[in-house]
Amino acid sequence: MPDLTTTYLGLQLKNPLVASASPLSKKLETVRRIEDAGASALVMYSLFEEQITHDSYELDNYLERGTHSYAEAMNYFPDMGNYNLGPEPYLEHLHKIKQVVSIPVIGSLNGISSGGWVDYAHRIEQAGADALELNIYYLPTDPDLTGAELEEDYVQLVRDVRAKVKLPIAVKLSPYFTALPNLAKRIVKAGADALVLFNRFYQPDFDLEELEVVPNLVLSTSNELRLPLRWIAILYGRIQADFALTSGVHTAQDVIKAMMAGANVAMMTSTLLENGVGRIMHILTDLQDWMEEHEYESIEQMRGSMSQQAVAEPAAFERANYIRALNTFDQYVR
Ligand SMILES: Cc1cc2nc3c(=O)[nH]c(=O)nc-3n(C[C@H](O)[C@H](O)[C@H](O)COP(=O)(O)O)c2cc1C
């Protein structure tokens, strides 16, 4: 049987399948089923900065930069109150989850401004989390705010959280950066042990009858794997950190691609919401079968084997392939 073990954030994991932050961690019963289905670790849903510091000066200052950012940051759910009860129940729930499962549990903090709320990183550590995922997201709408300023805020937040905890820290990013490798390097230098690529946001839609902007939650498909796949393949070997791939992991093939790009773990939410958490078991079986059929002995053996530094044609990840891909559409021109 192939060796499916992997390491992530200094944790020894029995396989690379991790349930990413989602409401699936809200019920202890579901969390147990996630473990029973074979997940090697679980990321808890996020505790949002907005829930900790409603009236915080730092947050107000931050959000003043663009009035729409607040709504956008809360874009997971129209009514935040229903998603998550607040800081104290979050910590209690984390503590309970730790009691009912033996797989590692990663707490999740979601915010942007530096400030007192960052103390919750320490509270999450005290509540028993095995690691911390920091989800940083800000949608800049202010034309005077530069990319350099915003990136420095991200890096400073990582430094602040690093100063609060001994736990391993993973930073979950969106793909919307001009020079991602440079930001990744600075975030790791600031104290992150892993990068979680990428967070996926639900773009608002327009209701044409009501003339309202409406949140529209569409789950991912495997097609969305390509964005994180490309970036992990580029960063692997260049940035000294672990990588978790999130967005578009639905099948064993997706997991294999993630490993070959250089990821330590492949995270899932959409497929588990769509098909139930039992899906993990099927993906694990398919993963084993595929590895046996293709004579891979271990996950370790495949890690990074298709990264940019490993492939025969590194330009495949860059502009050259773009032009080639465009040319393939010539046949459709009538
Ligand atoms: C309903 C729902 C709730 C989510 N809540 C969180 C959250 O609280 N914190 C977070 O970092 N990501 C959250 N996510 C993002 C997922 O963890 C994941 O990164 C994203 O859905 C992409 O993975 P997928 O293609 O497997 O769905 C949520 C996703 C969904 C669909």
Q: Which of 18, 22, 45 to mutate to test ligand 1, by most ligand atoms within 8 A of the CB atom?
A: 22
Q: Which of 42, 76, 255 to mutate to test ligand 1, by most ligand atoms within 8 A of the CB atom?
A: 76
Those residues with Cβ within 8 angstroms of residue 64's Cβ, 6 or more apart along the chain or in another chain = none
- Kindly report the pTM of this predicted structure: 0.92
Residue 139's pLDDT band (boundaries 50, 70, 90)? Answer: confident
SS (H, E, C) 117-146: HHHHHHHHHHCCCCEEEEEECCCCCCCCCC
| Distance of alpha carbon 92 from alpha carbon 88, whole angstroms | 6
| Residue-averaged pLDDT of the chain | 90
Contact 69, 140 (CB under 8 A): yes
Q: What is the mean pLDDT of residues 201-208?
A: 87
Distance between Cα 42 and ligand 1 center (Å): 12
Higher pLDDT, 128 or 52: 128
Q: Is the pLDDT of residue 200 over 50?
A: yes
Q: Is the pLDDT of residue 67 over 60?
A: no
| Distance of alpha carbon 53 from alpha carbon 48, whole angstroms | 9
Q: Is the pLDDT of residue 78 over 60?
A: no
| Count of C-beta atoms within a 10 Å radius of residue 161 | 26
Atom of ligand 1 nearest to the CA of 246: 23
Residue 117's pLDDT band (boundaries 50, 70, 90)? Answer: confident
Contact 55, 46 (CB under 8 A): no
| CB-defined site of ligand 1, < 6 Å | 20-23, 45-46, 76, 108, 110, 135, 172, 199-200, 220, 224, 246-249, 268-270
Q: What is the pLDDT of residues 270-294, one digit of tens each?
A: 999 999 999 999 999 999 999 999 9
Residue nearest (by alpha carbon) to ligand 1 atom 22: 247
Distance between Cα 22 and ligand 1 center (Å): 5
Q: Is the pLDDT of residue 21 over 50?
A: yes
**3-class DSSP state of 196:** strand
Higher pLDDT, 130 or 61: 130
Closest CA to 268 of 291, 234, 245: 245
Q: Would you call the peptide bond into 201 cis, given omega within 30 degrees of 0 as the criterion?
A: no
Q: Is the pLDDT of residue 297 over 80?
A: yes
Tokens of 104: 């590692």
Atom of ligand 1 nearest to the CA of 248: 25
| Distance of alpha carbon 55 from alpha carbon 51, whole angstroms | 10
Residue nearest (by alpha carbon) to ligand 1 atom 17: 21
Q: What is the pLDDT of residues 41-52, one digit of tens each?
A: 999 999 988 888
